[in-house]
Amino acid sequence: MMLERQREGVAKAKAVGKYKGRTPLPTDLRQEVVNLAESGLAKTKIARELKIGEATVYRILAAAKTA
């Protein structure tokens, strides 16, 4: 019941343009993550250096591997 109401509310908000989500990371930052990983830098160090989360680094690298 609650999930149905939530889905209705989200659909209504999207129709009005209020539900946009988070803005994606810039393409150059994504490319920098891939370049640093290819050069052998550890994923945790990449995250610290670029001031992004470790999960974001893993997500970017996974997407780059499939693409």
- Domain of 47: which CATH number? 1.10.10
Measured between alpha carbons, how far is 38 from 40 in angstroms, rounded to an integer? Answer: 5
Measured between alpha carbons, how far is 45 from 39 in angstroms, rounded to an integer? Answer: 12
In the numeric block, which tokens belong to residue 27? 């393409």
pLDDT 10s digits, 10-29: 899 999 988 888 888 999 99
20 in a domain, yes or no?
no
3 in a domain, yes or no?
no
| pLDDT score of 59 | 96
Average pLDDT of every residue of the chain: 93
9 in a domain, yes or no?
no
39 in a domain, yes or no?
yes
| pLDDT score of 56 | 96
51 in a domain, yes or no?
yes
For 25, residues 6+ apart whose C-beta sits below 8 A from its C-beta are 52, 56, 60
In the numeric block, which tokens belong to residue 11? 């659909």
Domains contained in the chain, number:
1
What domain range is 61 assigned to? 25-67
Whether the full predicted model's pTM is greater than 0.75, yes or no, is: no
| pLDDT score of 66 | 87
